Each structure stands twice: as structure tokens, then as C-alpha cells.
Amino acid sequence: MARDENDDILPDHDAAKEFYAKYEPKEVLGRGVSSTVRRCIEKETGREYAAKIIDLSSEDNNTESIRESTLSEVHILRMVAGHPHIIELHDVFESHTFIFLVFELCRNGELFDYLTNVVTLSEKKTRYIMKQIFDALQYVHSENVVHRDLKPENILLDDNLNVKLTDFGFAKILKPGDKLFEVCGTPGYLAPELLKAAMYEDAYGYDQAVDLWACGVIMYTLLVGCPPFWNRKQMIMLRNIMEGKYSFDSPEWDCITEAPKDLIRKLLVVEPSKRLTVDEAVNHEFFHAVHCGVKQFDARKCFRMAIMCVRCVVRIQRLKNTPETLSVSNAGMDPYRMKAFRKVIDNCAFRVYGHWVKKGDCQNRAALFENVPKTELKSLYISNLNRL
């Protein structure tokens, strides 16, 4: 970390200079409220990283709170470092006007963009992604940290579609039994107890359980492509969250098995003490190997397969009638090999020499098209040569 012995903040240009001396910034990968994330290359090694550049140069009062939350983010990132599904912080540079956080690069971007591309994920893929999220969260909670901003935008994917949990900007250290009251996060993913903490004076507060609620929202969204409590009017959405009002009624849910529905039901529980803990979630039957082998009849999938089979058979049948492709070079070198040309040439030749052939004499007709020397003529020619 770019700090001197007395832990004083370095002059602005020094931190920026140090960063630019070591890294070459490239294109923008993403933007947050007060940060820009760019791909960058470490000059010495040629390795690629993602640099989160936090701008503290504006004059408003907000900058101090941004600095504080960024330093807290760095502290927590170091507490939860070393897990395969948590983003690795590689380097930090800090000054009065900028903070540079250098992370490992996740080339496949956000789970959000992946979901936008594919619309929905199969149960198998959802299981693969959710298992990694829960594994990361188990580690985060075991370190007495609550993330508070779990959503597909803050779940990154590396080259092999492995999950990397990121953005610990709202994360907080929270000892067992302690409660938080502050409202933060993203509306669609907020847990009911967190909303209540904002609304009622005598609210009980909230803890790590809010992350499990967000996991329920994420899992629901991955499976059917739309979030469970969404409503055009935000007030109605927040009321739906407080009442835990969601359903598995849409037709997409018809082809989804019971196990993922059961897990979602046990995560989207309004009363936090009755909600699954992260340890219980990783052990849910949805993640059991035995369950992976059990397949339910999926009418839509079967229909799609049947259509594909019919199309395949039709194509194979048509194959024998499909004319072979005719390359210009082949046609130039050996036109007689091509069926279409052969017909044209034969017809022309027959028009010229046809009168030689007696009607119904197949032998003579065949001889007309013979293009190798006749053996008796060949031997006659050789004997004539010998005589000379």
C-alpha cells in the first residue's frame, strides 16, 4: 500500500504517479456511483488487472464518507482474502484526491450481463453459480462480515465462469448478536427487516440474514429471468418485500423442480430468525449430488427435441438429392467429372457423331463416349511400329 511510515496520506501526485508508473490503464470495464473501473496492465509482468479508481476531488461533503467507506472496503477485502470465490485485491494507492484499488481481472464481467444475454439459467447452471455464491458468503459470514449489497451486478465471472464476489463498499463487520439499523443496498434486494429498521423507531435491526434474503432474490431471478418482488411502482415493490409477497405462478416455473423452489421459499422468509443461515443453505438438498441425477419430465424440452429430430431426418433425406458443390477450378480441370457438365458434353457429342450409331445399338453408343484407346488398335499400332 502506498503510505509512508507515519501512515500519512501521500501528496496527490505521488499516489497517481506511483500507480501510472506501475500500471497502464486501458478501457473502462464498469462504473459505480463514485468510481470507474478500468482494465490495466502491470508494466513489469504484462499481467492484466482491473483498477477501481475512486475520485475524491469534488468539493462536496460527501468525499470524506466515500474515503471512509473505501478504506473500510479495503480493510474488509483483506479480512476475507484468499477465498477462490471472493475477488482478490492486488494493490492499493491512496491520495487526497484519488484512491486506486487494483483487483484481479474478471474477463466475463457481471453475472447481470451474462443473465441479460441468456435470459434464464438452467437448474444445473443455477446450482453451479449459487453454490459458489453460498461458499463465498459462508466464508464472509464466518469472518463476522455482512456484505449488504449482494446482487448480480456485484457478482463477477472469470474466464471459466467461476464466481468472484465483489464490491464490499457497503460491507460491515458485525459480531454475533449485534444488529445494524442503517439503510443501504439496492431496492429490489433489500430484506424486510432492513426496510423495517428504516421505518419504525422500535425496529429490531438486522444482521447477516439480509444476505440470505438477497441470495433468494438472485436465485429466483436466475431461474426465470425476472425478480420476485418487482413492480413498476417502487412503493408497491417495497410493500411486496415487507409482506414477502411473491409467487411461482408464471408458466416458467412449471418446468422447474421442487428442490430449487423449496430453497427459495426457505430464503425469502420475512422473519429473519426463521430464514436459512448460510450453513443451512449450502447443505440444502438442491446442492446434493443425488438430487442432480433426478430429472423431471419437461414437456417444452421434449417438444423442442422432437422438432430438432424431425429437422435432422429431413436434412439427411434431402442430402442425396443435393447437388455436389461445383468449384470453378475443378470445372476447369476436369469438366467431365461433374454430372451436370457430363450431360451437356455428351449431348453435344451425340449431336455431332450420333449418326454413326445404329438405333438400339447400345454397344456402339458406349464406344462413342469411350476416352481410352482401344486395345486392338493399340496392339495394331505397336506391331506396325515393329515392322518399320
Closest CB to ligand ADP among residues 33, 352: 33
Q: Radius of gyration of the chain from Cα atoms?
A: 36
Q: What is d(CA 67, CA 96) in angstroms, rounded to the nearest whole number?
A: 9
- Contact pattern for Mg ion over residues 13 through 32, marking x by CB under 5 A: -------------------x
Answer for the pair 102, 54: CB distance below 8 angstroms, yes or no: no
Residue 121 in contact with residue 223, Cβ under 8 Å? yes
The residues, any chain, with a CB within 8 Å of residue 261's CB and separated by 6 or more, are: 248, 253
- Is 171 within 8 Å of 73 (Cβ atoms)? yes
Q: How far is the CB of 311 from ligand ADP (least distance, A)?
A: 39
- What CA–CA distances, in Å, run from 68 to 73, 207, 208? 9, 21, 22
Pick 29 or 86: Cβ nearer ligand ADP: 29
Q: Is 177 helix (H, G, I), strand (E, B) or coil?
A: coil
With CB under 5 to 8 Å by kind, the binding choice for 197 among ligand ADP, Mg ion, none is: none
Please tell me what DSSP assigns to residue 209.
H
Q: Which is nearer to ligand ADP, 73 or 207 (CB)?
A: 73
User: Is 298 in the active site?
Assistant: no
50 binds, among Mg ion, ligand ADP, none (CB under 5 to 8 A by kind): ligand ADP
Q: Contacts with Mg ion in 30-89 (CB under 5 A)?
A: 32
In three-state secondary structure terms, 143 is: coil
Cα–Cα distance measured from residue 152 to residue 212, given in angstroms and rounded to the nearest whole number: 14
The residues, any chain, with a CB within 8 Å of residue 246's CB and separated by 6 or more, are: 220, 228, 229, 240, 268
109 binds, among Mg ion, ligand ADP, none (CB under 5 to 8 A by kind): ligand ADP
Q: Closest separation between CB of residue 108 and ligand ADP, Å?
A: 8
Select which of 135, 149, 167, 207 is catalytic: 149
CB of 97 to Mg ion, least distance (A): 22
Which is nearer to ligand ADP, 73 or 123 (by Cβ)?
Answer: 73
Q: In the complex, what is the shortest distance from the CB of residue 33 to ligand ADP, in angstroms, rounded to a whole number?
A: 5
**Interaction partner, residue 135 (Mg ion, ligand ADP, none; CB < 5-8 Å by kind):** none
Dihedral angle, C-alpha 254, 258, 263, 268, nearest 10 °:
40
Q: Which residue is nearest to ligand ADP (CB)?
A: 32
Q: What residues between 155 and 184 interact with Mg ion by CB under 5 A?
A: 167
Nearest distance from residue 285's CB to Mg ion, in Å?
32
Q: Is 200 exposed, middle or buried (0-12, 13-18, 19+ CB in 10 A)?
A: exposed
Give the Cα separation of 76 and 116 in Å (integer): 30
Task: Give the DSSP letter of residue 278.
Answer: H
Cα dihedral value 298, 135, 68, 209, nearest 10? 70
CA distance 78 to 213: 25
Residues that bind ligand ADP (CB under 6 A): 29-30, 32-33, 35, 37, 50, 52, 87, 103-106, 109-110, 153-154, 156, 166-167, 169
Burial of 164 (0-12, 13-18, 19+ CB in 10 A): buried
Which of 150/256 has CB closer to ligand ADP? 150
The site for Mg ion, by CB under 5 A, has a size of 3
Nearer to ligand ADP, 52 or 148 (CB): 52
Q: Choose from ligand ADP, Mg ion, none: what does 87 bind? Cβ within 5-8 Å by kind.
A: ligand ADP
State the minimum distance, in angstroms, from the CB of residue 167 to Mg ion: 4
**Which residue number, 26 or 304, has a Cβ lying nearer to ligand ADP?**
26
Residue 66 touches which of Mg ion, ligand ADP, none (Cβ within 5-8 Å per kind): none
**30 contact, one of Mg ion, ligand ADP, none, CB 5-8 Å limit per kind:** ligand ADP
- Closest distance to ligand ADP from the beta carbon of 114 (Å): 11
> Active-site residues: which are they?
149
For binding to Mg ion (CB under 5 A), which residues are involved?
Answer: 32, 154, 167
